[in-house]
């Protein structure tokens, strides 16, 4: 049973903001829900705002000075990245900026299976092999004390740019987390723990700007990392994604143009939602199945032929990833059925593919509204990925289980962990206890932005909502609720989808509820509905359609 949470605000205030900002009451309520409560804030949000100057981010000035020193000394630089979308896009930004700045810059992307996550001895060895005297990490490094010390022993300087939680959360230490002894450390979570949520690619963009380059040179790459890492799409992240999407639509870079082609996006409008299901999985596929080094080349190359070849390879890898993911998902679901859904779901399997366990964890967390830990067993070790639910801080929870873990890292909503297989049972007991102490009930919720009548639905509302894009984390697709709607000619279509027409007050609209066909058996002719308002294009015409997110019998 899903709980509907309808946001309600004083009607007089909604009316005031509507008049003062020249927007509909429905849009005013949506904006208020996102913390935008003044006419000035409304104008800034709709216009998109602007990026802050780079040196406002702590550590950028020191990093730029160290990079300038390396340039004067003719020092070779190695950019150490990560194998996910955020990591490879951040790597491409940093490498391109350094080369434009006049440095001899290469890169190293660790292999998920041979090296694991993060900056470690393998990164230092890669720098030694290539003759690099400076390592710049992107999207990793904030907990790499030993690797920084090892690099120093070999006369290699290190600059860390990251956005993950520190080694020890401030709440546990009573002070700011300790950081590795690098030449410069840039991490927005350290300088502004509650207010700055840049992705790894966003941090790399700040360094590029600090070196004197306009953000437009890199913002499409930063948009990929920002969207993929599910950071809140507010403030600077909104600026990055909004402007980056415009460049992605143009296909200004050969690699992005080729990816759009193999993803079936040629000629289609570019939205955050369709990138999440097309471009991003293909970029991620390399790091999940093979090696992500080719993706950096794809994002850097100016050759359309080279870009086309790499993009086609990524497309094939993504198909293989989907097959492997389905196998692991079915196995995990069988394991869950055998042991039952506890407050925290901890599942493990021998040889489960490490490249897909994070996706499986995400699916199960959404389906069961519980934190999920999926671990692959090999040679007596358990290596896994975890995904959380809204309101539960996964990173802090893992910090409370550290006696059972070899290592862990990540964010509030997503994390990685490693432990001995023999400690799995003790870890499961501990994490269940932690979850129980913080989560009172495990009921999925559907947040409704505003309760409106069908008379308020129209192309004008759709056009207003478009000004709020891009939608995603922190700025979700607006959902509206309407009561007492008559269902006209409801039927099941396709593979269990509900198709109907909803009518009230002389207005009616086509509606589609994906995978909601089973509800027909439990509903009468009149319903309450939660939906997103969309435009359906067919044979050159445009009609409004309600994309159903929830249906129930009318509330008494």
> What is d(CA 145, CA 156) in angstroms, rounded to the nearest whole number?
14
What is the pLDDT at residue 172? 47
Which residues, at least 6 apart from 472, have a Cβ–Cβ distance to it below 8 Å? 227, 230, 233, 241, 272, 273, 276
Tell me what the mean pLDDT of segment 330-344 comes to: 94
Q: What is the mean pLDDT of the chain?
A: 92
Three-class secondary structure of residue 192 per DSSP = coil
What is the pLDDT at residue 205? 98
What are the CB-based long-range contacts (under 8 Å, 24+) for 321-329? 321/281, 321/284, 321/285, 321/288, 321/289, 321/355, 321/356, 324/289, 324/353, 324/355, 324/356, 325/353, 325/356, 325/359, 325/360, 327/353, 328/352, 328/353, 328/356, 328/357, 328/360, 328/374, 329/360, 329/363
Tell me what the mean pLDDT of segment 310-319 comes to: 95
Closest by CA position to 459, among listed 533, 389, 403, 526: 533
SS (H, E, C) 9-23: CCHHHHHHHHHHHCC
φ, ψ of residue 259 in degrees (nearest 5): -65, -40
pLDDT-derived band at 341 (thresholds 50, 70, 90) equals confident
Three-class secondary structure of residue 265 per DSSP = coil
pLDDT-derived band at 171 (thresholds 50, 70, 90) equals very low
What are the CB-based long-range contacts (under 8 Å, 24+) for 25-28? 25/450, 25/456, 26/449, 26/450, 26/452, 26/456, 26/461, 26/464, 26/480, 27/461, 27/464, 27/465, 27/468
* CA distances (Å), origin 234, targets 46, 170, 473, 481: 11, 24, 9, 24
22 exposed, middle or buried (CB, 10 Å; 0-12, 13-18, 19+)? Answer: exposed
Tell me what the mean pLDDT of segment 9-19 comes to: 94
Summarize pLDDT for 498-524 with one digit per residue, the tens.
999 999 988 999 999 998 999 988 999
pTM, 2 dp: 0.87
Tell me what the mean pLDDT of segment 100-117 comes to: 91
pLDDT-derived band at 537 (thresholds 50, 70, 90) equals confident
> What is d(CA 124, CA 80) in angstroms, rounded to the nearest whole number?
9
173 pLDDT above the threshold of 60: no
Tell me what the mean pLDDT of segment 78-95 comes to: 96
375: enclosing H helix or E strand: strand 372-378
CA 255 to chain centre: 21
CA dihedral for 435, 439, 441, 444, sign (positive or negative): negative
What is the pLDDT at residue 184? 97
540 pLDDT above the threshold of 80: no
Closest by CA position to 89, among listed 212, 193, 231: 231
Closest by CA position to 332, among listed 354, 355, 357: 357
Summarize pLDDT for 38-61 with one digit per residue, the tens.
999 999 899 888 899 999 999 999
Closest by CA position to 374, among listed 431, 416, 323: 416
DSSP lists the bridge partners of residue 442 as none
pLDDT-derived band at 410 (thresholds 50, 70, 90) equals confident
Q: What percent of the chain has pLDDT over 70?
A: 97
Summarize pLDDT for 218-270 with one digit per residue, the tens.
999 999 999 998 888 988 999 999 999 999 998 889 999 999 999 999 888 88
Angle at alpha carbon of residue 398, lines to 384 and 409, rounded to 5°: 60
186 pLDDT above the threshold of 60: yes
Three-class secondary structure of residue 227 per DSSP = helix
Q: At what angle do helices 219-228 and 235-250 cross, to 10 degrees?
A: 120
Torsion region of 379: left, alpha or beta (phi above 0 gives left; psi -120 to 50 gives alpha): left
What is the pLDDT at residue 194? 52
What is the pLDDT at residue 118? 87
Quote the strand ranges of 272-359, DSSP E.
345-350
What is the pLDDT at residue 1? 66
Q: Which domains does the chain have, with CATH numbers?
A: 55-213 (3.90.1640.30), 340-438 (3.10.310.30), 446-552 (2.40.50.460)
What is the pLDDT at residue 68? 98
Closest by CA position to 318, among listed 259, 254, 257: 259
What is the pLDDT at residue 112? 83
Q: Which residue has the tokens 């009316």?
A: 15
pLDDT-derived band at 209 (thresholds 50, 70, 90) equals very high
Q: Residue 120 in contact with residue 147, Cβ under 8 Å?
A: yes
306 exposed, middle or buried (CB, 10 Å; 0-12, 13-18, 19+)? Answer: middle
Tell me what the mean pLDDT of segment 88-114 comes to: 95
Q: Output 120 or 390, whichever has higher pLDDT.
A: 120
Q: Residue 288 in contact with residue 256, Cβ under 8 Å?
A: no
């Amino acid at each position: 049973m899903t709980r509907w949470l309808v946001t309600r605000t004083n009607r007089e205030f909604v009316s005031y903001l509507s008049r003062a900002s020249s927007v509909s009451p429905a849009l005013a309520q949506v904006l208020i829900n996102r913390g935008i409560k003044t006419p000035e804030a409304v104008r800034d949000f709709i216009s998109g705002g602007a990026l802050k100057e780079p040196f406002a981010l702590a550590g950028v000035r020191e990093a730029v000075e160290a990079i300038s020193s390396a340039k004067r000394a003719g020092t070779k630089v190695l950019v150490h990245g990560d194998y996910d979308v955020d990591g490879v896009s951040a790597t491409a930004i940093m490498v391109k900026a350094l080369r434009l700045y006049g440095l001899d810059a290469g890169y190293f992307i660790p292999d998920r299976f041979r090296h694991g996550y993060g900056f470690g001895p393998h990164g230092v060895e890669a720098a030694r092999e290539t003759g690099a005297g400076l390592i710049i990490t992107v999207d990793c490094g904030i907990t790499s004390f030993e690797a920084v010390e090892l690099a120093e022993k070999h006369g290699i300087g290190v600059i860390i740019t990251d956005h993950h939680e520190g080694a020890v959360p401030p709440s546990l230490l009573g002070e700011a987390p300790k950081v590795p002894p690098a030449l410069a450390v840039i991490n927005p979570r350290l300088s502004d723990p509650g207010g700055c949520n840049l992705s790894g690619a966003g941090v790399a963009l700040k360094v590029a700007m600090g070196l004197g380059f306009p953000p437009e040179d890199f913002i499409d790459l930063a948009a990929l990392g920002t969207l993929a890492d599910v950071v809140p799409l507010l403030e600077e992240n909104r600026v990055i994604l909004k402007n980056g999407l415009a460049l992605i639509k143009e296909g200004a870079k050969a690699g992005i143009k080729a990816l759009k082609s193999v993803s079936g996006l040629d000629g289609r409008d570019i939205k955050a939602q369709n990138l999440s299901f097309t471009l991003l999985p293909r970029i991620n596929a390399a790091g999940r199945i093979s090696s992500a080094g080719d993706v950096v080349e794809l994002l850097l190359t100016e050759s359309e032929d080279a870009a086309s070849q790499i993009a086609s390879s990524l497309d094939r890898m993504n198909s293989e990833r989907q097959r492997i993911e389905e196998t692991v998902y079915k196995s995990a679901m069988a394991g869950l059925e055998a042991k039952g859904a506890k407050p925290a779901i901890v599942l493990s399997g021998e040889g489960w593919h490490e490249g897909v366990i994070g996706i499986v964890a995400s699916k199960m967390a959404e389906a069961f509204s519980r934190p999920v830990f999926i671990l692959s067993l090999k040679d007596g070790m358990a290596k896994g990925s975890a995904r959380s639910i809204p309101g539960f801080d996964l990173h802090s929870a893992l910090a409370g289980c550290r006696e059972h873990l070899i290592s862990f890292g990540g964010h509030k909503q997503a994390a990685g962990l490693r432990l001995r297989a023999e400690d799995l049972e003790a870890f499961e007991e501990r994490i269940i206890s932690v979850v129980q102490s913080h989560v009172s009930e495990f009921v999925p919720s559907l947040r409704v932005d505003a309760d409106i009548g069908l008379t308020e639905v129209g192309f004008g509302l759709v056009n207003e909502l478009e000004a709020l894009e891009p939608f995603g984390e922190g700025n979700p697709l607006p959902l509206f609720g309407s009561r007492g709607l008559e269902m006209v000619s409801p039927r099941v279509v396709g593979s269990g989808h509900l198709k109907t027409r909803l009518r009230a007050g002389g207005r009616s609209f086509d509606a589609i509820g994906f995978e909601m066909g089973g509800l027909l058996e439990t509903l009468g002719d009149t319903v309450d509905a939660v939906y997103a308002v969309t435009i359906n294009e067919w044979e050159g015409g445009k009609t409004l359609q309600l994309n159903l997110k929830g249906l129930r019998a009318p509330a008494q």
